Amino acid sequence: MDRRKSIKSILLGTVAGGLVVHGCKPEAASTEELAAVKSDGNHFGRTPEEKELIEKLNSEQFFNEHELGTIAVLANLIMPPNDKFGGATDAGVPEFIEFMAKDVPDLQTNLRGGLMWLDHKSNTEFGTEFKSAAEEQQKQILDTIAFYDPEIPMNEHPLEIQFFSLMRNLTLTGYYTSKNGTEDLGYKGNMPNVWDGVPEDVLEQHGLAYDEEWLAKCVDQSKRGIIAEWDDEGNLLT
C-alpha cells in the first residue's frame, strides 16, 4: 500500500471522530440568527456575522509569497499528487492553511517558526532554501521531524516536530475537505435510498414479523411516489 492509500485508509477509519482541525467554532445561534441564515453560493448556510468574518479574513494576508511557496512544496510532499485527483496544491491546501492561520491566530507562531526552521536546516545542510532543494534533500530533512513517540505529549516534543505535526494535520484536513479530496475518498454525502423495512434477521431476533397487508402497502417501492390516503376510520388505503 502506498503512502497516499495509507493516509486515505487512516482517514476513513477516523472520520467519524471529526476533522483533524476545527476552525470557525460558532456559539449556539438564537432563533433570530438562524432565521437570518441565507445562501450566497460559496458560503451556504452562513450567518451574516460569519460571512463578515470570512470576508475580513480573506482581505488580510499573513504568509508572504516565499512562505506560501514553501507551504505548497511541503504540502505536496505530505500529500503527493496523483493523476486523477491531483495533490494538495490542486485542492487549494496552501490557501486553506493561510486562512486557518488567520482564523486561529494561535497557530501563527508555530507555522511561521517552522517554515523558518526548514529554510535554516536546508541552508545549513544543502546550501539552499527548503523549497529550492532537491526532493530527496527535502525528504531527508522531513524524516528528522516526521516521526515521534506518541507516548510523549505533543507539547513536550521539539518545536520542529510540533510544526510538522500541525502541517500534516492541516494538509490532510484541507485536502480531504476539498472537492478533489472528497471525490478521492469516494464520499457521496447524503444520498436518497430505498427502505425495504427492518431486515428479516432483525425481526426474527425479536420474534416479530410484518403484517403482509401493511407490508404490501408500506414497503412496496413501486408505490413510493404515491401519497398515502386513509378512510374515515383511519384505515390506510394506499
Cell of 40: 450566497
Whether the per-residue pLDDT at 8 is higher than 80: the answer is no
Mean pLDDT of all residues in 85-96: 93
pLDDT of 73: 97
Whether the per-residue pLDDT at 68 is higher than 90: the answer is yes
Q: Using 50, 70 and 90 to split pLDDT, how confident is the model at 216?
A: confident
pLDDT of 22: 46
- Provide the percentage of residues in the chain whose pLDDT is more than 70: 76
pTM, two decimal places: 0.66
Whether the per-residue pLDDT at 132 is higher than 70: the answer is yes
pLDDT of 11: 53
Question: Cα separations (Å) of 212 from 95, 208, 216?
Answer: 58, 12, 6
| pLDDT 10s digits, 173-196 | 999 999 999 998 888 777 666 777
DSSP string computed for 31-89: HHHHHT-B--STTTTB-HHHHHHHHHHHH---S-HHHHHHHHHHHHHHS--BTTTB-TT
pLDDT of 215: 74
Taking 3-state DSSP, the helix, strand and coil percentages for the chain, each rounded to the nearest 5, stand at 55, 5, 40
Structural contact between residues 138 and 130, judged by C-beta atoms closer than 8 angstroms? yes
Q: State the chain's mean pLDDT as an integer.
A: 82
DSSP string computed for 1-36: --HHHHHHHHHHHHGGG--SS----PPPPPHHHHHT
d(CA 91, CA 4): 15
| pLDDT 10s digits, 15-30 | 444 444 444 444 545 5
pLDDT of 23: 47
pLDDT of 38: 43
